[in-house]
Structure 1
Amino acid sequence: MTSLLTLYLNYNSITSLPAGLFDDLTSLQALYLDSNQISALPDGIFDSLKQLTVLSLQYNQLTSVSARTFKSLSSLIQIYINNNKFSCIDGLAFENSLKLNLVSLNGNPMNCVPAVQYGECASCTYLDLSRQGIKNLDANVFKGFNVERLDLTGNELAAVPYSALSSMEYVQTLVLDKNRITRLSYDGMSFPSWIYTLTLDGNGMVEIDPRVFSSMTSLQYLSLYNNSLPSLPDGLFAGTKQLLTFRASSNRIASLQKGLFDTASSLQIVELMDNKIASFGEGCFDKLYNVLMMSLQHNSISMVPPALFKNMTNLKYL
C-alpha cells in the first residue's frame, strides 16, 4: 500500500495502534483517526509518514504525547488533537514540523498555556485554544509565533491578556468570545494596532473604557454581540479609522448619544438589534456616510427623529 494517499479510520472503536501499523504507507498525505477511543500513541508510530500533511486525532481519549510522537512529521501542515484529555503538550512535540500552520487543541482540560509548550511551533498561522479552561496567559507564551488567527473562545479569562498579545505581531483575527471579561478596563495597555478582526461576544460585559481600542488603526471588524452593555461610551471609535463592521446586538443599550459615531465614517455595517434603544442624540448618524446596512429591529423606538438617516446615501438595508 505504498501508493496510498489518504486513509480514513475515523468513527470506529479503535482503542490502540500497534507498533509498525503505518510503516508501509510511505506516500500517505492524510490520516484520519478521529472519533475513536485511542488512549495512547506509541513512540515511532508515525515515523514512516514523511509525506503526511494532515493528521486528525480529535475526539479520542489521548492524555499525553511525547517529544518523539510527531518528530518525523516534517511535512505536517494541519493537526487536529482537539477534544481529547490533554492536560499538557510536550514543549518539543512539534519541533520538526516546520510547515505546520494549523494546530487545533480546543476541548482539552488544559487550564494554562506555558510559554515553552508551543515554542517550537513558530510557523503556525491558526491556533485554536478554545474551551480549555484557560484562566491566564504568560506574557511570552506566543513569542516568536506567526499566528494570524488566535481562537480563545469559551475559556475562563477574566481580563484581556494584553501582555501576551503584545508579542503577536502577525495576529489578524482574535476571538475572545464566551470568556468572563465583564469589563474592558484601561491600565496603560490596549489591543495591538495590527488586529483586523476582534470578537468579544457573550462575555457578560457591562463596561468599556474606549482607550483599549485607541491603537487599533487596522481594525475592520468589531463584535460586542450578546453582552450586557447599558451604553456605548464616547470615543469608542476614536482610534478605529478603518472599521467596516460593528456588531453590538443583544445588549442593553438604551440610547445613542450625539457624536458617538462622528469618528466612524468608514463603517459599512452597523448591527444594533435586540437592545433597549429608545432615543437618539441629535445628528448621531450624520457622519455615517458609507453605511450599507443598519439593523435596529427589536428595540424600544417609539419615534424616529426627522432626518436621522439623511446622510446615509448608500444605505441598502434598514
Structure 2
Amino acid sequence: MFLRSSFTFILFYSFVVCCHAYSGCLHNNNDDSLLCICESPPKTNWFKVNCSGRGLVHLPAGIPENTTHLYLNNNSLTTIASDALLRLSELSEISLDFNNLTKLPKFPKKITAISASYNKLRCVDGSFTNLTLLDAIMLNGNPIRKLTRTTFQGSFVRNIDISNSTLEQIEPFTFAGLQRINRIHLRETNIKELVENSFFFTSKSLIEIYVDNQLLNLSTGAFANIPSGSRIYLTYSQITTIPARLFVNTTWLNTIRLEANKIGDIHSEAFKDLIGVFSLSVYSNFLTVFPSALYNLRIIESLQLDNNHISSLGSLFQSKYFPQYLYLDRNKIKTISKASFRGCKNLNILVLDHNEISYIEDGAFDDTDVEVMYLQKNKLETITNGTFRNGVMKNLYLFNNPITFIEEKSFSNMSNDSIVYLDCGQLTKIPSTMSENTVV
C-alpha cells in the first residue's frame, strides 16, 4: 500500500546524535546495555528520552519524571500498563510507532502529540478524554475499522490522522464534540460510504478533511455545519454520483476537490445550501455535460472540469457567476456558440485546449473579459474577424490546429499588447495585417 506523509510539523523521529546534558541514562539491569539516550537541549525546558529501535518488549523502568519527549518507536512493545505514563507529568510528545500495541495507555495532562502509527490497535475509544492540550493524534497503519461517537469523546484534539489504515466506517456525529479540530486525514483507507452527518461539526474553526482511495457512495448531508472557509478533499476514489445537498447548513467553503473519481452525475441541487466556494475541482471524471448544479454557485477563483467527457456546454450562459479561471481542456467539445460564455465578465483565463473544437460562432467571446485563452490542439480551420474581438484578450494560443484561412484583421480587435501563438504551415495566405506580436 502506498504510504503518504502527513502532519510534518510533528518531528517524532529526531534521533539523538549528540547529548548535551545526559547520555545513556537508562541501562539494562542484566547486562548494563544501553536502553535509552537522554538529552536536554540548551536554551529549552525539554528533556528528551530516546528509546527507539532497542528491541524493547517492555516499557523501561526509571524513565525520568521530567521527560518531555519520549521516543519508543520501532520496538516490540505489545502492552504498556494503563497508568505507567501518568507519573511523567511533564510529557508533551510521545512516539509509539512501529510496535505491536493492541491498546493505548492513559496519557498525562500535558500531552500535545501522540503518535502510535503502525501498531495493532483496533479500538482507541476513550483514550484521549480530557487531554485539553492535545494537538495531534497519529494512528496511521492500524487495523482500526470503525470510528464512533465515543472514539474522541471529551478530546480537545486539533489534528487527526488515521491514513493508510483498514478504516471502513465513520459513525454519524463522530467529530461533533471536537471544538478545536482543524484537520482530519483519512487517506488510503477502506471507507466506501459517507452517511448522513459523517462529518458534523459544532466547531467554528476552519477544517481540512481528506478522504480517499475506496470511497464510493456519498449521502445527502454527509457534511453538515462545516465552518466557513473549510477545505474538503474527496479525491482518487470511486465516487460516481454527487447527491442532492451533499453539504447541509454550510454556506462558504474554500476548496472542494473531487478529482480522479468516476463521477458521471452531479445532482442539480448538490450544492444548494452553499453560497459559494473559492475553488472547485472535478477534473478526471466522467462528466458529459456542464453540470447544472453550478449555475447558481458562486465560484470565486477556479473551476476545473478538465479531462472529462464533456461534449456539450449546455446552457452554460445560465450561470449567474463565473470564476476567474475555467478549465475545460481535454474534453470532447466540438463547437462554441454565442450562448456558451455569454456574460462571463469575471472570467479571466479560459482553457479549451485538447478538445475537438472545429467551429466558433462569431461573437462567441464578445461578452467576456477573457484575457488569456488556450485553444491549441483542436480542429479549427478558419478564423474570422468576429472570432476574437472582445478587446481585452492578451494571449491567444492557437497552435496545433489545422488552420487554413485567417480573415484580414482577425486579431485587430484584441488588446493592443496581445500575443497570438499559431502554426502557419497550412495557411493558404498570411493576412497582410498580421500583428508583429503573432508568434508562428
Question: What's the TM-score bracket when you normalise by the shorter of the two chains?
Answer: 0.7 to 0.9
- In structure 2, the residue matched to 1:228 is 309
Q: Match for 2:244 among 158, 162, 177?
A: 162
Aligned partner of 1:262: which letter?
Answer: R
Cα drift, residue 223 of structure 1: 1.3
* CA–CA separation in structure 2 for the residues paired with 1:232 and 1:91: 38
SS for the counterpart of 1:171 is strand
Q: Distance in 1 between matches of 2:293 and 2:392?
A: 31
Name 1:212's counterpart in structure 2.
293
Report whether the alignment pairs 1:97 with 2:182. Answer: no
Matches of 2:262 and 2:148, distance apart in 1: 33
Q: CA deviation at 1:299?
A: 1.7
Structure 1 residues 134-189: Cα deviation after superposition (integer angstroms, max 9, x where no partner): 3231x333333326222222444433222232432233422222333324564x77
From the two aligned structures, give the one with the greater strand fraction: 2
SS of the residue 1:212 aligns to = helix
Aligned-partner Cα distance in 1 for 2:393–2:288: 33
Tell whether 2:336 aligns with 1:256: yes
User: TM-score if structure 1 supplies the norm length?
Assistant: 0.81
Q: Distance in 2 between matches of 1:85 and 1:19?
A: 18
CA distance in 2, matches of 1:193, 1:117: 22
Q: 1: distance between equivalents of 2:346 and 2:197? A: 41
Query: Which of these residues, 352, 364, 368, is aligned with residue 272 of structure 1?
Result: 352
Of 139, 155, 162, the match for 1:81:
162
CA shift in 2, pair 1:248/1:95, >3 Å = closer
Corresponding position: 1:176 with 2:258: yes
Identify the residue that residue 134 of structure 1 maps to in structure 2: 216
Aligned residue among 51, 54, 58 for 2:140:
58
Question: Contact 1:183/1:208 (CA < 8 Å) preserved in 2?
Answer: no
Structure 1 window deviating more from structure 2 (299-308 vs 95-104): it is 299-308
What do residues 66-113 of structure 1 show as CA deviations (whole Å, max 9, x unaligned)? 555433531x21111123112223446445421102212233222222
SS where residue 162 of structure 1 aligns?
coil
The TM-score with structure 2 as length reference comes to 0.61
2:201–2:225 Cα contact (<8 Å) kept: no
Unaligned runs of 5+ in 1: none
CA RMSD, aligned part only?
Answer: 3.1
Distance 2:146 2:182 in 1: 21
C-alpha displacement of 1:245? 0.9
Contact kept, 8 Å, 1:213 with 1:236, in 2: the verdict is no
Per mean C-alpha deviation after superposition, the further-off stretch among 146-155 and 188-197 is 188-197
- 1:23–1:48: 8 Å Cα contact kept in structure 2? no
Identity in percent: 19
Contact 2:190/2:214 (8 A) holds in 1: yes
Contact 1:288 1:312 (C-alpha < 8 Å) held by counterparts: no
**Match of residue 143 from structure 1:** 224
Name the counterpart of 2:82.
Answer: none
CA contact (8 A) 1:103 1:126 kept: yes
Counterpart check, 1:292 vs 2:371: yes
Partner residue, 1:29: 112
Q: Larger RCO: Structure 1 or Structure 2 (Cα < 8 Å, ≥ 6 residues apart)?
A: 1
| Whole-Å separation in 2 of the counterparts to 1:167 and 1:14 | 42
Q: Contact 1:125 / 1:149 at 8 angstroms: preserved in 2?
A: yes
Deviation, structure 1 residue 226: 0.6
Greater displacement, 42-51 / 162-171: 42-51
Which is greater in Rg? 2
SS of structure 1 residue aligned to 2:368: coil
The CA deviation at 1:4 is 5.4
Structure 1 residue 115 and structure 2 residue 183: aligned? Answer: no
- In structure 2, which of residues 264, 283, 294 is the aligned counterpart of residue 201 of structure 1? 283
